[in-house]
């Protein structure tokens, strides 16, 4: 199946009007070693930490309904929840968009070891190429995923990539959010969150967002707005849950 994905992706690349620059030259040995060591450390940290989390779910039947209908899902979530989301949905072969920079290279190596596939690109670089790869994967029945406010924000503002892909393929968008009782929150643009050991965490899912493949261009904007509303509502539910469990 991976060969089929690559072949279809290459065909889409040749037809795309993407005029982006070629990838950077091969990095030196020290840089590659640094990336490899950081990726290994990240993988083991997520694996060891993830095994201690006590999970709860609410709304995952919506994802099950998408799969029961015979179609793949387009996962959509906020960038700041990458760590818990990566662990919870591991091992499913989900194709995710990863930035074409040094940080992206490290992240790609980590998540591939956790059972994901990657499409390299972002809203600022390689986006059309990555969307072509993800469209090819969807057409072969693979789930795909977006941190929809990444890679640089603004925080909690959904970009249209997932809506564009839904328009092109007819696949349903599954919005989800992860809330945690105890976590470390960084001072980054996305307020990146790292779960603390043995925390309670809850995954919230929303009903599928569907768009007809033959819908007009306005449908992409409307779908992005529906995705924004769904993710905002999930985040509010998550914040309420966190406040409740901290009060116990």
Q: What are the tens digits of pLDDT across the range 197-235?
A: 999 999 999 999 998 767 777 999 999 999 999 999 999
Which has more confidence, 246 or 23? 246
Tokens of 38: 């950081």
Contacts of 184 (CB under 8 A, 6+ apart): 193, 194, 196
Reply yes or no on whether the pLDDT at 1 is more than 70: no
Question: What pLDDT is recorded for position 54?
Answer: 98
Judging by DSSP bridges, how do beta strands 73-77 and 172-180 pair with one another? parallel
Question: What pLDDT is recorded for position 161?
Answer: 93
Q: Per-residue pLDDT tens for 134-172?
A: 999 999 999 999 999 988 899 999 999 999 999 999 999
Q: Per-residue pLDDT tens for 40-90?
A: 999 999 999 999 999 999 999 999 999 999 999 999 999 999 999 999 999
Question: What pLDDT is recorded for position 104?
Answer: 81
Which pLDDT band, with edges at 50, 70 and 90, does 120 fall under? confident
Which pLDDT band, with edges at 50, 70 and 90, does 124 fall under? low
**This prediction's pTM:** 0.86
Q: Where are the domains of the chain?
A: 2-13+28-246
Report the C-alpha gap between 121 and 58 in whole angstroms.
Answer: 31
- Average pLDDT of the segment spanning 167-191: 96
Tokens of 111: 């998540």
Reply yes or no on whether the pLDDT at 12 is more than 50: no
Reply yes or no on whether the pLDDT at 96 is more than 50: yes
Which pLDDT band, with edges at 50, 70 and 90, does 109 fall under? very high
Which has more confidence, 8 or 51? 51
Which pLDDT band, with edges at 50, 70 and 90, does 126 fall under? low
Phi, psi of 158 (to 5 degrees): -75, 130
Question: What pLDDT is recorded for position 8?
Answer: 44
HEC profile of the chain: CHHHHHHHHHHHHHHCCCCCCCCCCCCCHHHHHHHHHHHHHHHHHHHHHHCCCEEEEECCHHHHHHHHCCCCEEEEECHHHHHHHHHHCCCCCCEEEECCCHHHHHHHHHHHHCCCEEEECCCCCCHHHHHHHHHHHHHCCCCEEEECCCCCCCCCCCCCHHHHHHHHHCCEEEEEEEEECCEEECCCCCCCEEECCCCEEEEEECCCECCCCCCCCHHHHHHHHHHHHHHHHHHHHHHHHHHHHHCC
Question: What pLDDT is recorded for position 27?
Answer: 57
In a 13 Å sphere around the CA of 101, the CA atoms on its Cβ side amount to 9
* CA-to-CA separations, 246 to 180, 183, 237, 241, 242, in angstroms, rounded: 10, 12, 14, 9, 6
Reply yes or no on whether the pLDDT at 195 is more than 80: yes
Which pLDDT band, with edges at 50, 70 and 90, does 128 fall under? confident
């Amino acid at each position: 199946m991976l060969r089929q994905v690559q072949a279809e992706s290459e065909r889409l690349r040749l037809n795309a009007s993407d005029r982006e620059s070629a990838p950077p030259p091969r990095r030196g040995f020290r840089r590659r070693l640094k990336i490899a060591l950081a990726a290994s450390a990240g993988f083991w940290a997520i694996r060891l930490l993830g095994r201690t989390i006590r999970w709860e779910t609410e709304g995952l039947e919506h994802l099950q309904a998408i799969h029961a209908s015979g179609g793949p899902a387009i996962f959509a979530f906020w960038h700041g929840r990458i760590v818990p989301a990566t662990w919870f949905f591991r091992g499913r072969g989900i194709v995710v968009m990863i930035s074409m920079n040094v940080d992206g290279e490290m992240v790609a190596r980590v998540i591939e070891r956790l059972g994901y596939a990657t499409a390299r690109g972002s809203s600022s670089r390689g986006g059309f190429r990555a969307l072509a790869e993800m469209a090819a994967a969807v057409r072969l029945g693979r789930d795909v995923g977006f941190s929809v406010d990444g890679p640089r924000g603004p925080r909690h503002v959904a970009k249209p990539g997932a809506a564009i892909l839904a328009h092109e393929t007819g696949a349903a968008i599954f919005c989800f959010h992860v809330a945690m009782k105890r976590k470390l929150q960084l001072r980054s643009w996305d307020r990146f969150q790292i779960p603390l050991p043995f925390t309670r965490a809850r995954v919230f899912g929303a009903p599928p967002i569907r768009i007809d493949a033959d819908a007009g261009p306005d449908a992409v904007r409307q779908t992005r707005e529906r995705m924004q509303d769904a993710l905002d509502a999930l985040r509010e539910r998550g914040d309420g849950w966190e406040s409740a469990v901290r009060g116990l």
